[in-house]
Amino acid sequence: MKQLSIFVLLITFGIQAQNQKIKKLIDDVEPSVIEWRRYFHQNPELSNREFETAKIVAAHLRNLGLEVQTGVAHTGVVGILRGNKPGPVVALRADMDALPVTERTAVPFASKIISEYNGVKTGVMHACGHDTHIAMLMGTAEVLSKMKSELNGTVKFIFQPAEEGMPAGEEGGAKLMVEEGVLKNPDVDVIFGIHISSLLSVGNINYKPKGIMAEAQRFVIKVKGKQSHGSSPWTGVDPIVISSQIINGLQTIISRDTELTKAAAVISVGMIKGGLRYNIIPEEVEMIGTIRTLDAKMRKKLNDEIMNRVPAIAKAYGGVATIEIETTAPLTYNDIELTANSLPILQRVAGSENVHLIDAVTIAEDFSYFQKEVPGLYFFVGGKPLNVKTEDASGHHTPDFFIDESGLILGVQSFVNLTMEYLK
């Protein structure tokens, strides 16, 4: 019994010593994480154009002694850290792309970058927090590389381009990374992903087993009429008027024909193009939008309704409408067992009172392509300042999007501890 007690004490001491080492390494890397985040925020790059971002990430991983792969899915970077002992393979993922949004915040490192998107000149901004994701994963790589002798397995650091969607006519994102074998050689056993949230207070974590984020589909509707002079619309068929009726019809699919108490669903038109001159009724109008659903039955119902209703509305006004629908991200589905096993770790890192079970949300994430191949867990980490009310905080994809950088350290802590515990 005495020998057993001594053995237990040695194990306990070893765990405490390791935890203290991890804490110190994370504390030491925090200033660098913030510095990296500010650089990426000030120098954002659009999807499939993350050239400089990728160079910096790759150089950092090489400096840590990792095996580095570049040019994955165009601009993606993968770092491989092999521990000194055999074991499973854990993948950690961060997305790298920014958005065509002109920044309006007053931070000294605000983006001044101007680019072109869909033929339109626009500002570029990390308006969804991907700059923080890159920095948190770079920090995690630095910490874990210094724990190499204690790693029972391998860690893959996946820096992914084009999460926000590829330019027209291009492939990319998580789907292309999977097709190119990012989860192979060595074969990944589980994958973890984090998203910062501007609406969740610093120090908090939100999670959900099973479906946490919606399936996203992109639709393109082309409405063809008959061009005429604006002064005599009766001589033509107005595709702009038809388009307005189609938009109303799409919204009534949600508001009148969908049982939203069973599952949330959204249809939104985000872009309309048509016409070149104020006094000419154009021949054609194009509408592009998104569908968000949380289960397969709801998705099929909405798709069927759209395919039936849109041409019927156009025909009623003398026009013709065609529709194309494609899935851009499947349902983000957190593995039940992995989530259950990870929850105590997240509670230990953030404090049980700061880890919250949430309902599914209608935003989408192409992290789901990784989860279709291996068990995965995706969760939210708070980035809202504690002194700002949720209703006053700016949402994602907006010019005023803001993150309190003190929240980044929890992301590093989560990644490191989830990895170390899984590899045990």
Tens of pLDDT, residues 344-395 = 999 999 999 999 999 999 999 999 999 999 999 999 999 999 999 999 999 9
- Residue 9 pLDDT level (bands cut at 50, 70, 90): very low
pLDDT of residue 168: 84
Specify which residues 219 forms β-bridges with: 289, 325
- Give the torsion sign (CA, 341, 347, 350, 356): positive
- Give the range among 6-20, 68-82, 234-248, 347-361 with minimum mean pLDDT: 6-20
pLDDT of residue 10: 47
Specify which residues 234 forms β-bridges with: none
**pLDDT of 19 above 90:** no
**Quick one: what percent of the chain has pLDDT higher than 90?**
92
pLDDT of residue 262: 84
- Give the range among 20-24, 59-63, 300-304, 364-368 with minimum mean pLDDT: 20-24
337 counts as catalytic? no
Render pLDDT for 150-195 as a digit per residue (tens, 0 to 9). 999 999 999 999 999 999 889 999 999 999 999 999 999 999 999 9
**pLDDT of 6 above 90:** no
CA–CA distances in Å: residue 231 to residues 17, 274, 280: 82, 18, 8
From the list 95, 163, 189, 366, the catalytic residue is 163
pLDDT of residue 4: 55
Q: How does the average pLDDT of the chain come out, rounded?
A: 95
* CA-angle at 365, arms to 374 and 334, nearest 5°: 40
Please state whether the peptide bond connecting residue 186 to the residue before it is cis, i.e. omega within 30 degrees of 0.
yes
Domains of the chain: 2-212+331-423 (3.40.630.10), 215-329 (3.30.70.360)
8 Å CB contact between 137 and 27: no
**Quick one: what percent of the chain has pLDDT higher than 70?**
96
Q: At 382, is the secondary structure helix, strand, or coil?
A: strand
pTM score of the predicted model: 0.92
From the list 97, 142, 164, 335, the catalytic residue is 97
Render pLDDT for 199-215 as a digit per residue (tens, 0 to 9). 999 999 999 999 999 99
pLDDT of residue 355: 98
Q: Please give the helix or strand (H or E) that residue 343 lies within, else none.
A: helix 336-350
- Residue 16 pLDDT level (bands cut at 50, 70, 90): low
pLDDT of residue 38: 98
Amino acid letter, 412: V
**pLDDT of 226 above 60:** yes
257 counts as catalytic? no
pLDDT of residue 77: 98
**What pairing do the DSSP bridges indicate for beta strands 76-82 and 85-95?**
unpaired
**pLDDT of 196 above 70:** yes
